[in-house]
Amino acid sequence: MPPVSPRTLDPSAALRRRDLLRMMAACMVDWWLPRRLFAQRIAASRKPERRVIVVTFGGGVRYEDTLAPEGWVNIPHLASELVPQGLVYPVARHEGLTGHFNSTGAIVTGTRQNVDAYGSEAPVTPTIFEQFRKEHALPPEEAWVIATNKSFGLMGGSKLRAFGDPYSANVVLPKQLLIKTIKSAVSTNSGPGVEDRRALAERMMLALDEGYEGFGWRVFESERTLGPELKASLAKSLLDYFNDPAAPTSGDELTFFMTKEIMNRFAPSLLVVNFWDIDIAHYGAFSLYLDAVRRTDRLVHELWQHAQSLPAYRDRTTLMVVPEMGRDSDVAGNGFANHRSGDESCRRVWLVALGAGVPKGVGSQRPIRTLDVAPTVAQILGFKMVECEGRPLPELAF
Amino acid sequence: MQFTATLIGDAATLARTHAGMLAHLPATLHASILVELQKWPTLFEPEHRYQRALLEHLSGLPKSSLDSATAGIARIEEQAGINKVTDRHPAGFQDAAQALLRQRGQQVAWRSEVDGFFRTIDPALEARLYPADAPRRVVVQIYGSGIAVQRDKLWSRFKGAGVRVPLDLAAAKSTDPFLRQLLGAPDGGGSPALLDAASAASPLDAWLVESHEALHDICDAGQTKSAGGGATGLSYDRLRPYRDGLTRALNSKIQSGVESPQAFAAYARSLQIAPPAGALLYSADVLVAFVRDVLLTGNGTLLMNNTFVEWAAVQAIKRAQPRVLITRFGVRDKLRPFSSMVMFSQPRPSDQLPSVQDPAGSFVDVEQLSYYVWLNAEKTPAYRGKTLYLFLAEGVDEMLAIRSDRPAATASGLPRARLADVYATMAQWLGSPPAGHSGQPIEPLITGT
């Protein structure tokens, strides 16, 4: 039950709530209507049978805190449920700059990126999203980036003349929506701020209605229906998030809810989900870092369960889970709070794959690179990488 | 390359004396040295000594050796086109050069070459700055009461190091007597003898860094707070008005819009806010600048008390190199749902959710953070091989002692020691055995046998 709030006694607040509920109702109606139109549109394109979901176990996580035996306690779902179902590469490496944008950019392009660390520049080589959509002539709804990291607005595509916006992925930044709304809620001293989950949900719905571009999102609408359809989908995910009995509060949990809705609604063939709560490590509280690792582990597991519950994904989806980079070691680097030393601990990661086409319960000690993810995705989804440093993982890319 | 650096006093003299050598260095190296020299008034004496030693060492090298040592850096600068950077202010040049190195994909290689350069010259500098007869040091790390200590996991990062010493806490059940006996402060308000002895020459030789105020309270009661004596102290709680001022300013900037992280950092550097009178035990300008740096450049130091303690302690070790450093960690609050996502947001009068402490999480945190303080001390030549490290937790009847010259674990078997004995051990280690004190040094820790 939400705490008693002065706002509940405010008639104008009640009026706003009625307006909001009307808007929500409109969204929900819309949620049902355009699905048929959407299905017709996709039927005309060359949508592949296979689906790929790449999850960045993101924010920078150390091997020793996760896939190393002493770290299994922090990733119980991966260690005991997902790894036995799939293939694990315990020796993976990130090469290049150890910032979030460039390391994730390397995953989605297969090429080291050296752009602005804070996301003001797009990747300089074509992404898997652009090449996938271009080669298969697919609409924007077929490739999505759902990112907790608020600086990933340009992660969906390069600015290259032959690629770029016409072929980029849709990018949504759920945490940015959350933060903008919270900022607004705490910008004055009047209540209820963020303590009343329902009031916060209302604020977020209104913020969504004011235009998602303001959050740094990049949504390329191929048909007029996508706008309201997307809004309806995201509105539902927000309601689910705020009404969840577990009372989630983190950015990654909102990313998870939005991912589920986008999967339900659009069933995209290619989805990159960026979790990022783990970067709380910068606060220097080891317990909060470990909490975030465990949360990410749980969300990855739930995401895979959700995929298995959807006919559009079951038995045809390959999931790849990979940290975009590590964090500094204790001895050679600056410790878990940072990822700036460039030491081996910053670069040593791992990759777990499972689902369609993936051998079960297997491990490969062969060293791989995070650069290999993009060409592997390309082989699974049947498109060519025009420029790529990585090599397809033969165990997955058949 | 010629730079336009604003240098004063000794820094200007040093730059003039070594101008020929500096101009011969690769530009990125030259600029980084000038950036440090520009900070001269806010550097501690060990940092001054290091800069002097560095410049004299480099000037003393034959030109061919200097060329050889810096050849890798020069090569990368050439490949990246660093000579095209036109900014002649050292800091501006550094920013532009880093951007160029990143754009050219050379940043990782450049950094590797710089690390290699310092690996080459550091042994000579360390031998000069830290001779074998350099003074001994003590680092004490205390887990304050309230932290949910798990005895079976206590100091678990130090497996294979040091000795566990059983303690008799019969006369030290609560925080105040615990700390007083440990520091050699007489009951009834006398000053801590350990700190008085260590800080006789300079307050910067004895540091207290804590989450709360218990150590500061003891110093206050002993009236050690004075302009010319006593210890240097940083308390996260006592700095609250200062932290709040900084947080408000940063939050206001965020609310009004920030064009880039770089612009935000520049804004933070421009803030003219100072700690209020009495917040610091020793408030020399260099300390005020230090605290500001700790709060504005440390990860999470404005937000997390124990992070502040760790970061400030590590920076003190690296920069001021006190002979005695005492940290006292405490219980931190849990993050507030949602509002904690907005960096630097503060509780509002209308908020109804109280702050909630996290004793269990705090234990996990301080186990890691106290380990980092030890690790960083051992990485610092002033401490390596010369330091007695003691780890204590209030209410826990054992301590961990590590001699940095003999770090291997030894079976304890030691008799139970009183905190007065621990104080006497530290005093003995530092070469100032207490006269007329009831404590007896724990001989195996002193002799290493």
Residue B156 has pLDDT above 50, yes or no: yes
Query: Which structure tokens are listed for B281?
Result: 């035990």
Q: Tell me what the mean pLDDT of segment B68-88 comes to.
A: 96
Residues contacting B32, CB < 8 A, separation 6+: B90, B94
Buried b (16+ CB within 10 A) or exposed e, B373-403: bbbbbbebbbbebbbbbbbbbbbbebbbbbb
Residue A245 has pLDDT above 50, yes or no: yes
- A–B CB contacts, 8 A cutoff, strictly below: 118
Note the pLDDT of residue A398.
61
Residues paired with A88 in a beta bridge:
A352, A363
* pLDDT band per the 50, 70, 90 thresholds, residue B296: very high
How does DSSP assign A325-345, residue by residue?
-----SSSSS-TT---S--HH
The closest of B354, B357, B353 to B333, measured between CA atoms, is B357
Q: Does A118 touch chain B (CB under 8 A)?
A: yes
> What's the rounded Cα separation, in Å, for the pair A67 and A79?
8
> Cβ contacts (< 8 Å) between B252 and chain A: which residues?
none
Rounded (5°) CA angle B299-B305-B310: 60
Q: Tell me what the mean pLDDT of segment A220-245 comes to.
A: 86
Q: Does A201 touch chain B (CB under 8 A)?
A: no
Provide φ and ψ at A34, rounded to 5°: -85, 0
Note the pLDDT of residue B191.
85
Rounded (5°) CA angle A116-A118-A120: 65
**pLDDT tens-place string over residues A310-369:** 999 999 999 999 999 999 999 988 899 999 888 999 999 999 999 999 999 999 999 999
**pLDDT tens-place string over residues A160-184:** 999 999 999 999 999 999 998 998 8
Query: Which structure tokens are listed for B263?
Result: 């612009």
Closest Cβ–Cβ partner in A115, A193, A336 for B350: A193
Q: Among residues 7-46 of chain A, which lie with CB inside 8 Å of chain B?
A: none
Note the pLDDT of residue A44.
57
How do strand A270-274 and strand A51-56 relate by DSSP bridges? parallel
Q: Which of A184, A286, A340 to mutate to test the interface with B (most CBs of B within 10 A)?
A: A286
Percent of chain A with pLDDT over 90: 73
Q: Other CB atoms closer than 10 Å to residue B306's CB: what's the count? A: 31
> Cβ contacts (< 8 Å) between B307 and chain A: which residues?
283-285, 337
Percent of chain B with pLDDT over 90: 80
> Cβ contacts (< 8 Å) between B351 and chain A: which residues?
191, 193, 195
Residue A41 has pLDDT above 80, yes or no: no
Provide φ and ψ at B34, rounded to 5°: -65, -35
Note the pLDDT of residue B400.
97
Query: Which structure tokens are listed for B442?
Result: 């724990």
Q: What is the pTM of this model?
A: 0.92
Note the pLDDT of residue B229.
59
Chain A residue closest to B259 (CA)?
A120
